[in-house]
Chain A
Amino acid sequence: MGDHESKKNRVVHAAFGCRTELLTYARSLLGNFAAAEDAVQEAMIVVMNKYDQFQEGTSILAWCRSIVRLEVLRAKRRYQQDMSLAQRLLDDAVDAAFDEFQIQRRHDESTSRRDAIQHCLKKITDRGRAVLKSRFTDELGYKQIGDQLGMTVEAVRKALFRTKKQLHSCVESRLRVAS
């Protein structure tokens, strides 16, 4: 395997290793899961084509994030999403926050977290699961969820917050026990 091919494998493998982090970043800028997935997908194609521009020894996450950022801007343009001043200021603040605080999880850590989430999801109520599904899979607003499940907006807000908190505690304690 040549040097170029070897570097390509390393860079692409490392980039795919931070896919969830990149998805988090794209979602924070686009406010939509499906659009964020598309942007990350496009970014991965760029990574595969421009792997030789990555300077080894520097942060792969930061390099990939800069590529995702450009793909996000393109997506905003494509979807003619809100480009108001408030949105630009917010995007800039979000960008700075990720630059400062986002860390990449190790592969085994990510896998354990996912397993823990799956396990803990079984422990919550049907109603809690239905609210989460409506929110994350169908991407519905509080009112739509309320209409669908026969709940008030306030009840949806409380259920969502409570369920996520409950899940978070369950996942953290399961991971603590495992370690």
Chain B
Amino acid sequence: MNTNQTRDELFERHLQGELSDVEKEHVAELLDSDAAARQQFVELAQWDTELAETIREHAEPIDNKDLLPSGKGTIERGGENTFLLSPFATLATVTVLFILFSSFLYLQRKTGFAPEEKIDLSQTASSPIATITGLKGSLLWTGNQGELVLDIHVGRELTGGTIEGLAPDSWFELQFQDGSIVTISGTSMLTFADVGQKKLRLKQGAFTADVVPQPVGKPMIIQTPSTLIEVVGTRFEVEALQAFTTVNVREGNVRLKHLFDGSVVDIPAHYCVTAKAGSDLSPTRLPASKNHWKSSLDIQAGGFGKWLPATKKRPGAQKALPFIPAKYPDLTIALLGIPVSGRSGPPVVLTPSAQFLVRGRLHHPAKIKFGIAVSDDNGEFAGMFRGDLLNEQPITKIDEEKCFEVIYQLGDFSIDPCTRNKPNKFVGEPDGLYLDRVWIFTNAGVSSRLMVHEVELIPGEIK
């Protein structure tokens, strides 16, 4: 099959809504990087729709029975239904299966690891295994029967399933029956199950856990795209992306297996490991904190939004994407997020006189909203704050290049309205806490074309 045919088929399947996440990423990358592909896509979509419209309007009943195989051998059948093996092939297959099984057992004993976990929701218990103890922002829960639930609330008992944080300000805390607490924050996706052993899969995002001692031989298992983490009882944080996983251990001990090469490492308290292809898995001591931070969008993608790598004409940027908040279905905001702590380098601590400087581009002048999420020194989520609420946020002006610069002082930050009703749960002020991530949005919808080139945290006043 040639390249054009492969592309056409990919585009055609996209129009039918049949692409997997990996294929979606591939098509997005293709369209972003290749003008000819964009043109081909639009032309194919136009042709396909004209054809579909005509066929749908003039659909004639076709008697399918005339087209079905009328007898043996009249129509070529694919190999998928043919499973007849010669005695020799059967013997060869049994031998290969035996060798594979023996290798598998040997590898399992050698690494001391359970086989790669797959969380099968069909095997999860029907009785509740955990209770929601906190949540905020747009979240989507898919239960183990496949039901989609947007209306989830504190106190609701869950039988297992997948919880997805849809926005940078999403946050969700879950307490298992044994008292172990797990939290996801930001745009994250976590699948969880507990049938005598807790099994979780973090597809992407930030995750923290405070795990009570688990039954002997049944540690909590957490799978990320690149690692398998085994926990007996400890406090730790995980950040998972497709390319790498970072694990910071605060207390106890965590065992990590890198799925890339099968290597295994034990991470003690106050140490961390970043697992990525070809990297050294040796634990390093958790770095000391710093007070200054600057985004590095020239070389690294942000979180929520679309990353635009640097070109000769403009610096790297994170572009806002349209988003409809769960509580305001009639509102479309343009939203982007940038993670801070936990990625690389030391954690960032906020000082009372700190200021945030945000630089970017806007199509029209608009009010730019700014929020932060913080955690405490145990790595636990400690609340969210907004820098645009205390004083009425003025409309941000843009220059002739459509660029803007706006400053937010930490002293002006107030508790995010969504977390205001939980005063005992979270701290009242952000200073002294660790900065986890920032998010920026406008209410002007997609028309604002908001993109941010740089966010900088400066400990003192900006000169």
Contact = CB atoms under 8 A, between A and B. Distances in A.
Interface string B134-167: 0000001000000010100000000000001010
Contacts of A148: 64
A167 interface: yes
A59 interface: no
B18 A31 contact: yes
Given A83-B166, A137-B59, A102 B51 contact: no
A30 B49 CA distance: 13
A179 to B, nearest CB: 17
B46 interface: yes
A93 B46 CA distance: 16
Contacts of B25: 86, 89-90
Interface string B314-330: 00000101101000010
What is the predominant secondary structure among interface residues of chain A facing chain B? helix
Nearest to A110: B50
What is the predominant secondary structure among interface residues of chain B facing chain A? helix
Contacts of A69: 322, 446
B255 interface: no
Nearest to A79: B148
Nearest to B15: A27
Nearest to A26: B49
Given A92-B321, A136-B55, A130 B62 contact: yes
B76 interface: yes
Contact of A114 (B19, B38, B54): B54
B189 to A, nearest CB: 8
A18 to B, nearest CB: 11
Interface in A109-158: 110, 113-114, 117-118, 121, 126-127, 129-130, 132-133, 135-137, 139, 141, 146, 148-155, 157
A33 interface: yes
Interface in B104-157: 140, 148, 150
B332 A136 contact: no
A137 B56 contact: yes
Nearest to B81: A152
Interface string A78-110: 001001111111111110111011100000001
A97 B68 contact: no
B42 A102 contact: yes
Given A88-B306, A88-B321, 19 more contacts: A23-B49, A24-B45, A27-B15, A28-B15, A31-B14, A74-B324, A74-B329, A77-B329, A84-B21, A85-B204, A89-B306, A96-B31, A117-B51, A130-B64, A141-B16, A149-B68, A155-B76, A155-B78, A161-B8
24 contacts: A20-B50, A24-B49, A30-B17, A31-B19, A32-B16, A70-B332, A74-B324, A74-B329, A77-B324, A77-B329, A85-B187, A88-B321, A90-B24, A93-B28, A93-B38, A114-B54, A126-B66, A133-B59, A141-B18, A146-B78, A149-B67, A152-B76, A152-B79, A161-B9
Interface of A: 20-21, 23-25, 27-28, 30-33, 66, 69-70, 73-74, 77, 80, 83-94, 96-98, 100-102, 110, 113-114, 117-118, 121, 126-127, 129-130, 132-133, 135-137, 139, 141, 146, 148-155, 157, 160-161, 164, 167-168
Interface of B: 5, 8-9, 12, 14-19, 21-22, 24-25, 27-28, 31-32, 35, 38-39, 41-43, 45-56, 58-59, 62, 64, 66-69, 75-80, 140, 148, 150, 164, 166, 187, 189, 204, 304, 306, 319, 321-322, 324, 329, 332, 445-447
